[in-house]
Chains A and B, each alone.
Chain A
Amino acid sequence: MSSVLACDRLTVRYGGKTAVDRVTLDVPAGRMVGVIGANGAGKSTLINALAGWSRGRPEVEGEVVLGGEPVSGLSAYRRAHRGLLLVPEGKGIFGGLTVEENMALVRTPADTRDRHAFGEDEIFALFPRLRERLHHKGTALSGGERQMLAISCALRAAPRVLLLDEPSVGLAPRLVLELLKRMRQLVDLGLSILLVEQNVRAALSVVDDVYLLERGTVVAHGPAEEMREDKRVVEAYLGRSDIEIAEPGSPHP
């Protein structure tokens, strides 16, 4: 299976402190891959480093490969042009701009071979609320609406692979699964997604593969079905009795 995004022994340090340690990871084309782990495990640091982006000043080492081409030397906006799109943790939109302006900031690339740029209609079909909010400023949106807008902006840029860092933060529990399922639908249509998610149970019900991160290193990795049974995952994130309770309608029971 061809890989759309991969990294090889990616190491990220803040000052002298290693936050991500020799992580090797692979997102196969048309798949949804999850990264789970405790607070501070290095999930955001990892996903940001893949996108070549950070709010801090990390030192990054190791190769990042997008669709077979190394992109480690490219700055974040160039990686975005090439279809590596990150929706960061927390604030992912411009509060001073309207929904429409936020979306118009993104320019659909000229060359979209083997990529799909989502048009307005597709985006409004995915997130109908955004249509009603079109002329509202970002600051006037609810937390969930902001997440929808951030994801929509990334979709407009014709992602080869979409990196989502905790898209469900601030959503009501019922909406978390709904959002993730919609993301899953996009994957079933051909998109590739790397998902960082705190809500492990919900994440496990939509992803194909899972990486478990602890203190910056991958301690377990495998298909979601297997990882659901993994002792470390069960103990730390699911709790014993939960294993059997698969989400109804999950595409990967």
Chain B
Amino acid sequence: MILVQQFINGLVLGSGYALIALGWTVLLGAARLVNFAHGQLYMLGAFVAWFVMEQAGVPYFVSIPVSVLAVALLGAFMQASMTRLVMEQNLTSLMIVTLGFGYMLTGGAAILFGGAPQTLDSPLQGMAVRTGGVWFTLQDVLILACALVLFAAVWLVLNRTRIGAMVRAIAEDPKLAQLFGINAPLVYLGIFVFEAATVALAATLVAPRTPILTSMGFEEVILTFMIVVLGGIGSVGGSLAAGFGLGMFTAFFGTFVSPAYTTAAAFGFVLVLLSVRPKGLARR
């Protein structure tokens, strides 16, 4: 039974990881951009939801769209302040600027929300399903379902719609895209907003599983980076697979070896995999 239980844990962890990484998959993979404030946007997504629940007394399911909207706006603001760097695809400067932005967010959040650990309360977190010696919560089911639906939707949009073709065109050659009548800065803005919105959504779904702290975010951004690289940069399917793979690894390694070394071991696992398959899990 412990195997089945760990499998379920891996599945839930993995879909959480994948959800957190989805925005970056599009951002780095399709638009060739980076945002190292990604982890802090995750933190903020969780805290905005927590804050409106605490202060305005809104229910959990209302706090989700509020948080997504707030963080999306912040993403738009970030992009607008970096338009020039974005258009020039100046990744080094973008890395520094977004890292700095992340630190500012951490500082701002500490002032605004305090340094104490909090809990983002989802009613589904308390609803557990126990059957045949295994158990999981309805929150776990929600995370898994959202991950599958969102990944499918993003894959479809990227590969089957004109907007998706625009994103891929901009990833390949933003200058040329202008000659095709495409407003490249606007598409970049859309991609940034999408990245911020999805990481906030991921935060509101995943964060109820553990206490939240304004200092969190570093682990999330590293995790995201691993998943995106492991999945084969830009591959939506690859990122989902990598998320699940990492989730399974964390669950089984944590149970059968030691939870203390999981991250280090996961990095080892990624290193080995990338040396065998430099392009990650993606088929391309």
Give the Cβ gap from B169 to chain A, nearest Cβ, in Å. 5
Q: 0/1 per residue, B161-172, Cβ < 8 Å to A?
A: 010011011011
Give the Cβ gap from B36 to chain A, nearest Cβ, in Å. 26
Contact between B162 and A96, CB atoms less than 8 A apart: no
Q: Which of A16-24, A78-86, A196-204 is the interface stretch?
A: A78-86
Interface size class of A (residues with CB under 8 A): 20 to 34
Task: List, in ascending order, chain A residues with CB within 8 A of B166's CB.
Answer: 105
* Bound CA–CA A31/B179 (angstroms): 22
Contact between A51 and B169, CB atoms less than 8 A apart: no
Q: Is A252 an interface residue (CB 8 A)?
A: no
Q: Is B58 an interface residue (CB 8 A)?
A: no
Q: Is B178 an interface residue (CB 8 A)?
A: yes
Task: List, in ascending order, chain B residues with CB within 8 A of A101's CB.
Answer: 165
Give the Cβ gap from B168 to chain A, nearest Cβ, in Å. 6
Contact between A76 and B178, CB atoms less than 8 A apart: yes
Contact between A77 and B165, CB atoms less than 8 A apart: no
Q: Which of B139-147, B181-189, B273-281 is the interface stretch?
A: B181-189
Contact between A104 and B179, CB atoms less than 8 A apart: no
Known: A53-B175, A55-B175, A104-B162. A97 touches B169 (CB 8 A): yes
Q: Which of A87-95, A166-174, A182-190, A222-230 is the interface stretch?
A: A87-95
Contact between A53 and B173, CB atoms less than 8 A apart: no
Q: Is B180 an interface residue (CB 8 A)?
A: yes
Contact between B176 and A106, CB atoms less than 8 A apart: no
Contact between B176 and A91, CB atoms less than 8 A apart: yes
Task: List, in ascending order, chain A residues with CB within 8 A of B181's CB.
Answer: 77, 80-81, 106-107, 157
Q: Is A153 an interface residue (CB 8 A)?
A: yes
* Bound CA–CA A87/B176 (angstroms): 9
Q: Which of B168, B171, B178 sits near A53, CB closer than 8 Å?
A: B178
Contact between A85 and B179, CB atoms less than 8 A apart: yes
Of B169, B171, B178, B181, most buried by chain A (CB within 10 Å of CB) is B181
Give the Cβ gap from A120 to chain B, nearest Cβ, in Å. 15
Task: List, in ascending order, chain A residues with CB within 8 A of B175's CB.
Answer: 53-55
Contact between B176 and A92, CB atoms less than 8 A apart: yes
Task: List, in ascending order, chain A residues with CB within 8 A of B165's CB.
Answer: 97, 101, 104-105
Q: Which of A51, A95, A96, A107 sits near B179, CB closer than 8 Å?
A: A51
* Bound CA–CA A42/B178 (angstroms): 22
Task: List, in ascending order, chain B residues with CB within 8 A of A92's CB.
Answer: 176, 179
Q: Which of B168, B179, B182, B184 sits near A97, CB closer than 8 Å?
A: B168
Q: Is A112 an interface residue (CB 8 A)?
A: no
Q: Is A142 an interface residue (CB 8 A)?
A: no
Q: Which of B172, B180, B183, B184 sits near A96, CB closer than 8 Å?
A: B172
Interface residues in B8-32 (C-beta closer than 8 Å to A): none
Q: Is A250 an interface residue (CB 8 A)?
A: no
Contact between A94 and B162, CB atoms less than 8 A apart: no
Interface residues in B125-175 (C-beta closer than 8 Å to A): 162, 165-166, 168-169, 171-173, 175
Residues of A within 8 A of B (CB): 51, 53-55, 75-77, 80-81, 85-88, 91-97, 101, 104-107, 153-154, 157
Beyond A77-B184, A94-B176, 9 additional pairs, beta carbon < 8 A: A53-B179, A55-B175, A75-B178, A77-B177, A80-B178, A95-B172, A96-B169, A97-B169, A97-B172
